[in-house]
Amino acid sequence: MHPKQSVTKQSWKPGNMLSPVPAVLVSCGGTKEWKPNLITIAWVGTVCTNPPMLSISVRPERYSYGIIKQTGEFVVNIPAVGQTEATDWCGVVSGREHDKFKKTGLTPAPALKVSCPVVLECPVNIECRVTQTLELGSHVMFIAEVVAVQASSELIDAKGKLCLEKAGLIAFVHGEYFALGRYLGHFGFSVRKHKSKPAAASKTRKPHERKKRNP
Ligand SMILES: Cc1cc2nc3c(=O)[nH]c(=O)nc-3n(C[C@H](O)[C@H](O)[C@H](O)COP(=O)(O)O)c2cc1C
């Protein structure tokens, strides 16, 4: 676990260097007042396990900001490789000028608990209700409780386990999109006995067959 070669560093200006992060399609609207809209969000994070909560940070000038602020609801749709172009496009044009569902061909499908639609093509849809709003500066953070989740049936195995690693998820790294790569280990593998090398272990058991735990 210690670096073998000498490492040199350069001072970098303070900024948002956290990587990789997800780039998600957030759906909102779908009420009498607001047509359904999509906004791409990279400033998204899990903030609590119980109750399940997440946050999204949105600039007030976004069309979606007013919708989420007023309705208090949104859905985080996790895109897969097949939705990369749509994810980027929804992040460079505004719902003020475009019907993003129509233009991308993404399908709005009913949510279980909130008024806004979920994106059918995305493997996971996380339905959220805002509980707190934090004005931070450039962005306003919506902290929300997860009230329902939908997951593609094809990702659920015979034992009822959600095999998200099969979904072909994408990661956003310093302005670029990547497909997720090689399996390296599972939660806690470093302290498990009799399992010395994760690379060797991965040959014998597929990632989705391993038991996972949350932080
Ligand atoms: C990969 C990516 C990530 C983005 N992340 C955010 C974000 O976290 N917060 C935000 O306010 N805007 C973010 N944007 C910009 C908005 O998605 C963009 O301004 C969008 O056009 C707003 O749509 P709207 O006006 O329909 O709400 C991101 C754009 C891209 C392409």
Give me the tens of pLDDT residue by residue for the chain, a chain 215 residues long: 666 779 999 999 999 999 999 999 999 999 999 999 999 999 999 999 999 999 999 999 999 999 999 999 999 999 999 999 999 999 999 999 999 999 999 999 999 999 999 999 999 999 999 999 999 999 999 999 999 999 999 999 999 999 999 999 999 999 999 999 899 999 999 998 665 555 544 444 555 555 556 67
Distances (CA, A) of 154 to 52, 124, 200: 24, 11, 28
CA separation for the pair 76, 27 (Å, rounded): 7
Out of 40, 101, 176, give the residue to mutate to test ligand 1, the one with the largest number of ligand atoms within 8 Å of its CB. Answer: 40
CATH superfamily of 24-173: Electron Transport, Fmn-binding Protein; Chain A (2.30.110.10)
Minimal-distance CA residue to ligand 1 atom 17: 91
Read off the tokens for 174. 């310093």
**H/E element holding 151?**
strand 140-151
Q: Which residue type sits at 38?
A: L
Q: How many CA atoms lie within 13 A of 88 on its CB side?
A: 11
Domain ranges of the chain: 24-173, 184-209
Cβ proximity of 140 and 51 under 8 Å:
no
Residues with Cβ within 8 Å of 48's Cβ and at least 6 positions away in sequence, in order, are: none
Minimal-distance CA residue to ligand 1 atom 13: 41
pTM given for the model: 0.91
Read off the tokens for 147. 């009230």
Minimal-distance CA residue to ligand 1 atom 10: 58
CA separation for the pair 7, 206 (Å, rounded): 34
